[in-house]
Amino acid sequence: MSIQVGDRLPEATFTVMGKDGPEQVSSDALFKGKRVVLFAVPGAFTPTCSEQHLPGFVGLADEIKAKGNVATIACTAVNDVFVLNAWAKTRGAEDSITMLADGNGDFAKSLGFDLDLSKFGLGKRSQRYAMVLDDGVVQYLGVEDSPPEHIKATAEKVLASF
């Protein structure tokens, strides 16, 4: 069963790139008492993720934060923190998007959004989704039906949800 609107996110630990290197951060530290937009991509540097999904959130970050009273916009992927950090730098996202590495896919699996892309040589990944969280509770959720789709989990859909 996948997470739904009204559900609380499960506890999780992510890896983020701190100023001195990789750091662990808990879901409570990220989401408790805050309004957060969280979106997931199947993989950094992949075509739809790099050309459409991430750029949409980078371009609308200020508007999303202002209109939705959002403290943080975060992106998660089943990639390591070094890949996500490099991706943020190359896509101009380092100042607007917090990158949350779910290196083993534990978070994606706990949400029911794990995806097996082994037949494409990509291994276990996350479905593409976007959600608005208020104190860790899902207020809005858009989940794509297949990895190349970018219809339901867009920055525009998140913005329209406020």
**Is the separation of the CB atoms in 88 and 81 below 8 Å?**
no
- Partners of 153 in the β-ladder: none
Q: Please list the rounded mean pLDDT of every run of 10 residues in the chain (162 residues).
A: 95 97 97 98 94 97 97 97 98 97 97 90 89 98 92 98 97
Tokens for 87? 């991706």
Q: Within 10 A of 118 (CB to CB), how many other CB atoms are there?
A: 10
pLDDT per residue as tens digits for the range 41-72: 999 999 999 999 999 999 999 999 999 999 99
Q: Residue 148 has what pLDDT?
A: 87
Q: Is 112 helix (H, G, I), strand (E, B) or coil?
A: coil
**Is the separation of the CB atoms in 142 and 128 below 8 Å?**
no
Q: What stretches of 40-150 show up as alpha helix (H) in DSSP?
A: 47-48, 54-68, 81-90, 106-111
Q: Residue 120 has what pLDDT?
A: 85
Return the active site residues: 49
- Please state the pTM of the whole predicted model: 0.95
